């Protein structure tokens, strides 16, 4: 299982909440799905103030009520709120929406106009106040992490778009983070809109293991011990399938099939974002 730089062990497979709280499904159903995920051991829950403008955090709060001690809770601050005072205020709002006293990992959602050094000052103040336990970044590349300077030792994670169809991070970001003991959190590991899961290569590999293409995509991210994969699911069938992906072991032939269809990067590429 991955560990944070201070040695804290975290689950390799968690639960994402992007698009929860938007009304596509009843909130009670979304909370039930998250609770089922907790029952199945997916105790890392990732959310953000951006998701449904706080609505996803409210769903998370409902889901983890009475179970806070089981959960490694991750949330993210908007870039425009990431000033010295703004991040503190945004964190307080997130805490209130989720009904908790502390966020386990608080991330800068992406780079904005506020200097990284100012955001780090806010994060350190939140740590000192006991409002967060760890801080990190999201959608940040190697140059962004280098900009942290000495503070990089306190950066607990980098959350990026990483899947078979978005492999740019493999060229230098993943090795950089592995060398420094910084876990990489893979959001949207099964893609968006279903295009990735319709690809023939995933269906071929899935047929060999009698699993779903989504489970192949998740298992592929989990092949790296420094990756935390955070697929989102609101349907109990999909939640159970996601949890079962932890037990899938892709073979060398499987990986060769997937590499042939989704070539690993041979040069530096900018990080993709959704």
Domain that includes residue 50, residue range: 27-190+225-234
- 3-state SS assignment for residue 168: helix
pLDDT digits (tens, 9 = 90+) for 66-114: 999 999 999 999 999 999 999 999 999 999 999 999 999 999 999 999 9
Q: Is residue 272 part of a domain?
A: no
Mean pLDDT of 215-231: 97
**Any idea what the CATH number is for the domain that residue 144 is in?**
3.20.20.100
Rg (CA), the chain: 18
H helix or E strand, kind and range, residue 44: strand 44-46
Which one-letter DSSP state was computed for residue 156? Answer: E
Contact 198, 191 (CB under 8 A): no
| pLDDT at residue number 193 | 82
Q: Is residue 204 part of a domain?
A: no
Q: Is residue 8 part of a domain?
A: no
| pLDDT at residue number 1 | 82
Which one-letter DSSP state was computed for residue 13? Answer: B
The pLDDT-based confidence of 274 (bands split at 50, 70, 90) is: confident
Q: Is residue 103 part of a domain?
A: yes
- Between 272 and 252, whose confidence is greater? 252
pLDDT digits (tens, 9 = 90+) for 7-63: 999 999 999 999 999 998 999 999 999 999 999 999 999 999 999 999 999 999 999
Mean pLDDT of 173-189: 97
Residue in this structure with the two tokens 């609770």, named with its chain if needed: 35
Between 74-78, 121-125, 270-274, the lowest mean confidence (pLDDT) is in 270-274
| pLDDT at residue number 174 | 97
Question: Where are the alpha helices (H) located in the chain, listed in sequence order?
Answer: 27-39, 55-64, 84-98, 116-128, 142-147, 173-179, 200-209, 213-221, 236-244, 252-261
Q: What is the mean pLDDT of the chain?
A: 97
pLDDT of 270 > 90? The answer is no
The domain tally of the chain equals 1
pLDDT digits (tens, 9 = 90+) for 201-211: 999 999 999 99
Q: Is residue 152 part of a domain?
A: yes
Mean pLDDT of 204-221: 98
């Amino acid at each position: 299982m991955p560990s944070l730089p201070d040695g804290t062990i975290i689950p390799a497979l968690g639960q994402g909440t992007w698009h929860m709280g938007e009304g596509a499904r009843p909130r009670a159903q979304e909370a039930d799905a998250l609770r089922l995920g907790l029952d199945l051991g997916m105790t890392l829950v990732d959310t953000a103030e951006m998701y449904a403008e706080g609505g996803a955090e409210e769903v998370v709060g409902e889901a983890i009520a009475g179970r806070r001690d089981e959960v490694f809770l991750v949330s993210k601050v908007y870039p425009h709120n990431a000033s010295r005072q703004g991040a503190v205020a945004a964190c307080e709002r997130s805490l209130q929406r989720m009904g908790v006293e502390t966020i386990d990992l608080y991330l800068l959602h992406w780079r904005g106009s506020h200097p990284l050094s100012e955001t780090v000052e806010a994060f350190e103040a939140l740590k000192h106040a006991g409002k967060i336990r760890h801080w990190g970044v999201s959608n940040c590349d190697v140059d962004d992490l280098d900009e942290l300077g000495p503070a990089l030792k306190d950066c607990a994670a980098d959350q990026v778009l990483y899947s078979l169809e978005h492999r740019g991070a493999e060229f230098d970001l993943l090795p950089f983070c592995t060398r420094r003991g910084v876990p990489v959190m893979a959001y949207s590991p099964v893609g968006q809109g279903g295009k990735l899961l319709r690809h023939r290569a995933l269906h071929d590999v899935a047929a060999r293991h009698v699993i779903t293409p989504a489970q192949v995509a998740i298992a592929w991210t989990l092949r790296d011990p420094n990756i935390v994969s955070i697929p989102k699911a609101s349907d109990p069938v999909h939640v159970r399938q996601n949890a079962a992906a932890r037990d899938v072991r892709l073979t060398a032939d499987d990986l060769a099939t997937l590499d042939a269809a989704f070539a690993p990067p041979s040069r530096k590429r900018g990080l993709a974002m959704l």
